[in-house]
Structure 1
Amino acid sequence: MRNADMGMPSHGAGLGSDVARVAAVTTLVLLAPLAAMQFTPAVHWTALDFGAAAVLLLLAGLACVRAARRLRSARARLAAVTLLALGFAAVWVELAAGVFFGLGS
């Protein structure tokens, strides 16, 4: 059954294409530290760093896509994406530097 048949709005692209887009953007973002590691010793990421960053970026990206699909008003979408970005930044900073709980490097 299609989404329209079940009373759900149809948004064109399916979940698979959303995941593929978010995965592609995640890969492109992770190329930045990979390239930086080739030019400066100041950037030193391990496989665990890349894995953690990939998981964070994928989860944040998919949450943004879900919020954009589920929320009707532009104001609600903006609020959701802002909260997701703040949460993402807080986790990233914690894992990078241990600012809040001392979990980082």
Structure 2
Amino acid sequence: MKSKRLIIILTVVVILLLIPFIAMQFTNEVDWKISDFVIMGVLLLGTGLLCEIVMRKVKGSNSRIIICLGILLSLFLIWVELAVGILGTPFAGS
């Protein structure tokens, strides 16, 4: 069961990374470099694995939900900052 969830996490990461890869074949609007794929892969995999650790270690279902939502919010904020630099940090190259 545990390894099945890991396979699901890896599959979801690959599918999500295929979206911009396929889009790059049809339009010039999507212009990802290999470093973009690596960074996003690390972010997605890290998020999935952190949520998996929370699911295994945290007992209360409310606590699991809150912690996983916090992890997902962190992923979203990092993604937005890297994409458009909404916070204006040097992290995004602004």
In which range does the TM-score fall when normalised by the shorter chain? Answer: 0.7 to 0.9
Superposed CA offset, 1:66-92 (max 9, x none): 111111122111101110011001111
Deviation of 1:103 (Å): 2.8
Identity of aligned residues (%): 32
Superposed CA offset, 1:30-87 (max 9, x none): 0111111111111110000000000000000000111111111221111011100110
Give yes or no for the alignment of 1:67 onto 2:54. Answer: yes
TM-score, normalised by the number of residues in structure 1: 0.78
SS, match of residue 89 in structure 1 = helix
Superposed CA offset, 1:3-24 (max 9, x none): xxxxxxxxxx34x554433222
Matched pairs, number: 92
Q: Say what the alpha-carbon RMSD is for the aligned residues.
A: 1.5
Q: Which runs of 5+ in 2 are unaligned?
A: none
Residue equivalent to 2:12: 25
Give yes or no for the alignment of 1:81 onto 2:37. Answer: no
Query: What is the distance in 2 between the residues matched to 1:99 and 1:33?
Result: 21
Query: What is the distance in 1 between the residues matched to 2:37 and 2:79?
Result: 12
Residue equivalent to 1:48: 35
Larger radius of gyration: 1
| Structure 1 runs, 4 residues or longer, greater than 3 Å off | 16-20
Query: What is the distance in 2 between the residues matched to 1:50 and 1:17?
Result: 24
